[in-house]
A and B are shown apart, each in its own frame.
Chain A
């Protein structure tokens, strides 16, 4: 019932700790101009702009779409700003797609960004709330106990996380845009790196990056005529659950499973490992790869770690289902943009546009984002064909 829509242009900035050469406006414009160029469109061809980013405290600018109107060519057009915590990059892409899938607009520009070097992300994430114990040790401190429980349940060997950390940085070394360029990284180096929140080590955690990612999404007529192959949107889904409730399954959250089931149904996927060629999945701490392999149905419960250890998710080991060939969140993490980067990188794969991190012949790809206390999920499936 929804109209067909496709990604026809993608632009990304080089991810790095601090972009000192551009303002926030400059950063988003760089990505937006890249996407327009890729789509061979001008600002006038865009009907609406949809912006997404994580908490405003990361830059100290309240409701930044107001300030960014001009940078994004939006004077006299509709502009929307989505905010769903860490999954925001993904949900922004979904909201942007709905502008076209609903038949309301023909071509929209969507941008997700974070220039978190401008403020203090660690502080913003663990901002002390009065009357509570001030023990919020950042995102890693929140996820470490959950990872520990996964390790206990699955009996996974201690170095699964280390393997993911190495794999994703080796992938990142194939992607000139990735923040961390570590072609020389080894299992030993990761294992010996500083333990932050046991069992998460420094080199098993994502970096803090500045960056922006933009896409142009267009309707079927325009996409058919686009200069480069479009990535057809074959499924879109979002789910949310509360941060905490009695009996909440935190290791394998229901919202993630339900979201995946929904998007797979739309895209006609029954066996994700076989039906998909590649997946870009939000893995900010290494152990989330085996956990999400199970949550997303690529492996039975308790066995996600086996796929990782077999090399199934590695490009370098010729795995059958590469995960995060772009280097993933472990290689670049501008928080508000990371979800959209996953969605955009999935699109690049099926457009045959992923350069040295291309999965040969990729036709169907999953883009995944999650946020909050692993409670907000946004996913899409894109394909080289209309389906």
Chain B
């Protein structure tokens, strides 16, 4: 019943106890995230628009945090995105097999007004920069499931950089420069 182990010092005193905690949770995504995930399974990236401020959120969580109202309208987003910011991670992430160093970026997909985090790969880490254009690289279609990891990573796209003040405002039709 209990996995508790005790630590005992040379005098026989109990100095510590290891008592692992195992709790099982049946996690459910919310209604808005579920719609987002269902679309992802079909290879489509979507956001939701706030009826009050018109901003498009991705991944959608069911509300516009600024206005405090539910978001309903689904908006299809592009597979292209802009790097809003990034970091080069040199330590492993617990529970993730990915090998450092790797780039984690805040990316704003065309058509959305907020960034989400994802990997950048197929790139020279030191050349990643703010305003850089990038494109999603998806897993093979037969592997698509309900998760953001249907997108393996974003890779650099040969398009002109987006000026900083325009990041988060590129329409879904894209960016010409």
Interface residues of A (CB under 8 A from B): 20, 60, 122-123, 126, 128-137, 141, 144-146, 148-149, 152, 194-200, 242-248
**B130 pairs with A133, CB closer than 8 A:** no
B168 CB-CB contact with A under 8 Å: yes
B1 within 8 A of A: no
**A20: chain B residues within 8 A (beta carbon):** 15-16
Q: A194 and B55: CB pair below 8 A?
A: no
Are the C-beta atoms of A132 and B85 separated by less than 8 Å?
no
A133→B149 contact, CB < 8 A: yes
Residues of A near B55 (CB, < 8 A) are 245-247
Contacts of B93 in A (CB 8 A): 126, 134-137, 141
* Cα distance A50–B23 in the bound complex, in angstroms: 29
In the complex, 26 of the A-B residue pairs with CB atoms within 8 angstroms, ordered by the A residue number, are A60-B19, A130-B29, A131-B146, A132-B59, A132-B148, A134-B93, A134-B96, A135-B93, A135-B118, A135-B119, A137-B87, A137-B89, A137-B104, A144-B87, A145-B84, A145-B85, A145-B87, A148-B86, A196-B90, A196-B91, A197-B87, A197-B90, A244-B114, A245-B55, A246-B114, A247-B55
Contacts of B37 in A (CB 8 A): 131
Closest CB-CB distance, B98 to chain A, in whole Å?
A: 8
Smallest Cβ-Cβ distance to B65: which chain A residue: A242
Closest residue of chain A to B63 (Cβ to Cβ) is A242
User: CB distance A197 to B89 under 8 Å?
Assistant: yes
How distant is the Cα of A284 from the Cα of B20 in the complex, in angstroms? 29
Flag if B27 contacts A130 (CB, 8 Å).
yes
Q: With an 8 A cutoff between CB atoms, is B33 at the interface?
A: yes
Q: How far is the CA of A5 from the CA of B15 in the complex (A)?
A: 41
Residue of A141, A195, A244, A245 most packed against chain B (CB within 10 A): A245
Q: Which residues of A contact B146 (CB under 8 A)?
A: 131
Q: Could you tell me if A198 and B65 are in contact, using CB atoms closer than 8 angstroms?
A: no
In the complex, chain A residues whose CB is within 8 Å of the CB of B94: 122-123, 126
On chain B, the residues within 8 Å of A133 by CB distance are 117-119, 147-149
CB atoms of B88 and A198 under 8 A apart: yes
Report Cα–Cα, A246/B93, bound state, in Å. 28
How far is the CB of A327 from the nearest CB of chain B, in Å? 24
Q: CB distance B118 to A244 under 8 Å? A: no
A148 CA to B130 CA in the complex, in Å? 9
Contact B57 A246 (CB under 8 A): yes
Shortest Cβ distance from A125 into B: residue: B94
List the A side residues contacting B118 at CB < 8 Å: 133, 135
Minimum CB–CB distance from B166 to chain A (whole Å) comes to 12
Tell me if B21 and A60 are in contact (CB < 8 A).
yes
A-B pairs with lowest CB-CB distance, top 8: A242-B65, A144-B87, A246-B55, A145-B85, A246-B113, A198-B88, A245-B66, A245-B65
Q: Cβ of B66: which chain A residues have Cβ within 8 Å of it?
A: 242, 245-246
Contacts A136-B93, A198-B87, A245-B66; A131 near B113 (Cβ below 8 A): no
Whether A198 contacts B53 in the complex (CB less than 8 A), given A133-B117, A134-B96, comes out as no
List B127-172 residues whose CB lies under 8 Å from chain A.
130, 146-149, 164, 168
